[in-house]
């Protein structure tokens, strides 16, 4: 029976939203596990709070002014780092970028992850000697680096799990920022992401253009939601454009083609599958994310083609079958920065009340869905943070200032509504 396009699209969206939900849920658990009424909240010194150290005795105006200064400095730092990344990539320093990303991954898993592990051991009074802890952390970090950057040979599930772990660890550290600084930085990052992706000359826009012109992928920390459906037994193609993502510090969404095919004529093509696949050149693996794609004898311009291309994209289905298999292995990619800042928002909401956690979670998931819908309509690169962060911040303050007093007041007075 032929599957509908909505079913395929739903599978892809769930493949992105599920790891995001797991990351946010585990960050909330970490926040609740490491916080207790008897302990005072500790803040960390990062680029996000270099200028102003928030003090509970400060007035609201002082906190707002200091938080804005911290956000400006942090955004400037991120922008400089991103432009430096563009320059290094422009001058073909790909090997340096790859080694730096590997080192950053090892540092996050070993050092930052080790600090969180130590806090959990102290919180729950778990006895563990230093030698065992070192061996566990070292093996955990090494396997993580290998699974994220090894490419083939390792299960994709292992890579996905380690990518989610990286997002959890970084997000757990960012939740230690002061409250006013956290909210201001999140709003500033959403605005910066909007400018960096859509504005002419934006750093992330330049990265997309360089990556497409060179037919190679930029070394970055991304989550790959690869298709789980076996495309070997399908014939007619259903192609649609979905989201792929960017670097580890900030996020962008770029266009990528995912090929899905139905299972009507698999018996007629079973004898030609191997011949069609062997005839595919390795250049398809290195093809640009945005460009023309040839199916059989027909060239489909992705900028002008409809969102959903139904069956019949060429008369030579045997030749196009191998192409579709290779393209179908790519799936959706979501940047690690999206995982981090979505989880930071929910983690900060968890420090206040569970009601705000539920509201922020629903807002973020709704914003992510709206981003994918807008991507299908605009058919060009779109930032992933602005809609989700805007809805999350809005729902947090509406819940905290309006909904919670109403719910608590009605429950206290035993009123029904």
Catalytic residue ranges: 193, 338
Hunting for tokens 């090997």 — which residue is that?
A: 95
CA–CA distance, 249 with 340 (Å, rounded to integer): 9
Contact by Cβ (8 Å): 252, 230 = no
CA–CA distance, 411 with 43 (Å, rounded to integer): 35
Half-sphere exposure for 406 (CA within 13 Å, toward CB): 9
Hunting for tokens 């970055």 — which residue is that?
A: 220
Contact by Cβ (8 Å): 221, 100 = no
Hunting for tokens 């705000």 — which residue is that?
A: 356
Burial class (CB in 10 A: 0-12, 13-18, 19+), 398: middle
Host H or E run for residue 412: helix 404-412
The structure tokens listed for 113 are 């992850």
| Beta strands 237-245; 253-261: pairing state | antiparallel
User: Residue 309 gets which letter from DSSP?
Assistant: B
User: Residue 109 gets which letter from DSSP?
Assistant: I
């Amino acid at each position: 029976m032929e599957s509908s396009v909505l079913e395929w699209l739903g599978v892809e969206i769930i493949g992105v939203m599920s790891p995001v939900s797991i990351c946010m849920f585990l960050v909330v658990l970490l926040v609740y596990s490491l916080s207790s009424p008897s302990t005072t909240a500790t803040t960390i010194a990062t680029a996000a709070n270099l200028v102003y150290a928030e003090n509970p005795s400060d007035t609201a105006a002082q906190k707002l002014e200091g938080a804005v200064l911290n956000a400006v400095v942090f955004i400037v730092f991120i922008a400089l780092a991103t432009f430096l990344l563009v320059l290094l990539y422009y001058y073909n320093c790909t090997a340096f970028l790859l080694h730096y990303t590997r080192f950053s991954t090892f540092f996050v898993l070993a050092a930052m992850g080790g600090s969180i592990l130590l806090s959990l051991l102290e919180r729950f009074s778990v006895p563990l000697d230093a030698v065992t802890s070192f061996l566990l952390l070292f093996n955990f970090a090494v396997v993580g680096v290998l699974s994220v950057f090894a490419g083939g040979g390792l299960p994709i599930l292992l890579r996905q799990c380690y990518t989610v772990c990286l997002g959890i660890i970084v997000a757990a550290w960012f939740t230690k920022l002061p409250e006013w600084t956290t909210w201001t930085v999140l709003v500033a990052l959403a605005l910066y992401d909007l400018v960096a992706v859509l504005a002419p000359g934006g750093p992330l826009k330049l990265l997309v253009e360089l990556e497409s012109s060179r037919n190679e992928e930029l070394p970055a920390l991304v989550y790959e939601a690869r298709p789980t459906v076996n495309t070997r037994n399908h014939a007619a193609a259903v192609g649609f454009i979905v989201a792929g993502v960017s670097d580890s510090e900030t996020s962008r969404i770029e266009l990528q083609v995912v090929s899905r095919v139905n299972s009507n004529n698999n018996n007629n093509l079973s004898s030609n599958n191997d011949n069609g696949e062997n005839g595919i050149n390795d250049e398809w693996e290195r093809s640009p994310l945005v460009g023309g794609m040839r199916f059989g004898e027909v060239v489909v311009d992705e900028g002008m083609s409809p969102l959903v291309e139904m069956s019949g994209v060429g008369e030579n289905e045997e030749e196009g079958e191998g192409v579709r298999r290779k393209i179908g292995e790519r799936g959706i990619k979501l940047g690690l920065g999206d995982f981090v800042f979505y989880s930071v928002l929910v983690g900060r909401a968890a420090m206040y009340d569970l009601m705000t956690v539920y509201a922020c979670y629903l807002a973020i998931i709704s914003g992510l869905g709206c981003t994918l819908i807008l991507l299908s309509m605009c058919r060009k690169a779109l930032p992933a943070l602005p809609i989700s962060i805007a809805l999350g911040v809005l729902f947090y303050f509406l819940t905290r200032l309006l909904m919670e007093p109403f719910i608590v007041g009605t429950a206290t007075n035993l009123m029904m509504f």
